[in-house]
């Protein structure tokens, strides 16, 4: 990955950053010069990711963080305040996928009335309530600074109405509504809130290995690296004042080209 100084001095925290989209975004931010905190629930996978960053001489730290646990989130906020004194970018990315409620969701869709209440609650608590809790905890820091940026990761609208995609679809639809309202609540405070999504099925741990083989015959999975360019843009001064937007990574180039200069 090519390094630059675009984000030198910037500080970013990414949830769910030990693999997949979160790891790809963290790598892009660090390669652009930012100091990055990787967070995830599992210490072993976090340490593995952190070792990759340090081997590449990228500025990164790792914190165990459960986005469903307010005490765990508060510890992360306290770490940021104690070690950095502030934060420039929060990326809400941590989530779990349909495989947690139906391992065969791509080949044998399960109707909503067969989804367990426990499975529904667990996914919503992570993918939607987790975004709310983490943002709620860090926004007071942004308000005290008088600035800040939040990026909430989402998915295609097709996912929100696809057969057998409860509760994942509702979790992402809810996160989009949450993002739009957050943007309005924080607009006057000069805190930008935007959404970012890959733009297609992506090669992450949310797709079971067996399903990948079947998918390969129909279409090509996107690389998580598709998120690199737009997340660096959203962390930079070039995005100042842009808020309430839904950016699709596969269409980022055309979106930029269509913006008024």
Per-residue pLDDT of the chain (261 residues; tens, 9 = 90+): 567 779 999 999 999 999 999 999 999 999 999 999 999 999 999 999 999 999 999 999 999 999 999 999 999 999 999 999 999 999 999 999 999 999 988 889 999 999 999 999 999 999 999 999 999 999 999 999 999 999 999 999 999 999 999 999 999 999 999 999 999 999 999 999 999 999 988 777 666 565 556 555 566 788 999 999 999 999 999 999 999 999 999 999 999 999 876
Please state whether the predicted TM-score (pTM) of the whole model is above 0.85: yes
- Residue 215 · residue 201 · CB < 8 Å: yes
CATH of domain 11-258: 3.40.50.720
Residue reference for tokens 């987790």:
130
Beta-bridged to residue 191, according to DSSP, are: 148
CA 8 to CA 118: how far, in whole Å? Answer: 43
Listed in sequence order, the residues at least 6 apart from 80 whose beta carbon sits closer than 8 Å to its beta carbon are 11, 13, 37, 86, 87, 138, 141
Tokens of 67: 């986005």
Q: What is the dihedral of CA 245, 247, 253, 257, to 10 degrees?
A: -20
The catalytic residue positions are 168
Between CA 123 and CA 66 the distance in angstroms is 13
Would you state the pLDDT for residue 121? 97
CA pair distance 214, 82, nearest whole angstrom: 48
* Number of Cβ within a 10 Å radius of residue 118: 9
Whole-number pLDDT of residue 209:
62
User: Residues 6 or more apart from 116 whose CB is under 8 A from it?
Assistant: 101
Question: What pLDDT is attached to residue 213?
Answer: 60
Q: How far lies 175's CA from each of 109, 160, 181, in Å?
A: 23, 11, 10
Question: What local confidence, expressed as pLDDT, does residue 27 receive?
Answer: 97
Q: How far apart are CA 68 and CA 128, in angstroms?
A: 10
């Amino acid at each position: 990955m090519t390094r630059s100084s675009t984000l030198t001095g910037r500080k970013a925290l990414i949830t769910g950053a030990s693999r997949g989209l979160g790891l790809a975004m963290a790598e892009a931010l660090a390669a652009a010069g930012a100091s990055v905190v990787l967070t995830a629930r599992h210490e072993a996978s976090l340490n593995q990711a952190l070792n990759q960053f340090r081997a590449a001489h990228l500025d990164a730290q790792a914190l165990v963080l459960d986005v469903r646990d307010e005490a765990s989130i508060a510890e992360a906020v306290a770490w940021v305040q104690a070690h950095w004194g502030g934060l420039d970018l929060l990326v809400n990315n941590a989530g779990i996928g349909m495989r947690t409620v139906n391992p065969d969701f791509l080949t044998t869709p399960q109707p909503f009335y067969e989804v367990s209440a426990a499975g529904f609650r667990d996914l919503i608590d992570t993918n939607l309530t987790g975004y709310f809790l983490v943002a709620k905890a860090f926004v007071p820091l942004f308000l005290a600074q008088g600035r800040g940026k939040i990026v909430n990761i989402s998915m295609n609208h097709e996912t929100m109405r696809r057969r057998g995609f409860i509760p994942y679809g509702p979790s992402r639809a809810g996160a989009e509504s949450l993002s739009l309202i957050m943007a309005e609540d924080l607009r006057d405070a000069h805190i930008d809130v935007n959404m970012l999504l890959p733009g297609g099925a992506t090669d992450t741990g949310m797709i079971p290995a067996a399903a990948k083989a079947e998918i390969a015959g129909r279409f090509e999975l996107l690389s998580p690296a598709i998120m690199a360019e737009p997340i660096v843009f959203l962390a930079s001064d070039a995005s100042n004042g842009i808020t309430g937007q839904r950016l699709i990574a596969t269409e980022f180039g055309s979106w930029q080209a269509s913006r008024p200069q």
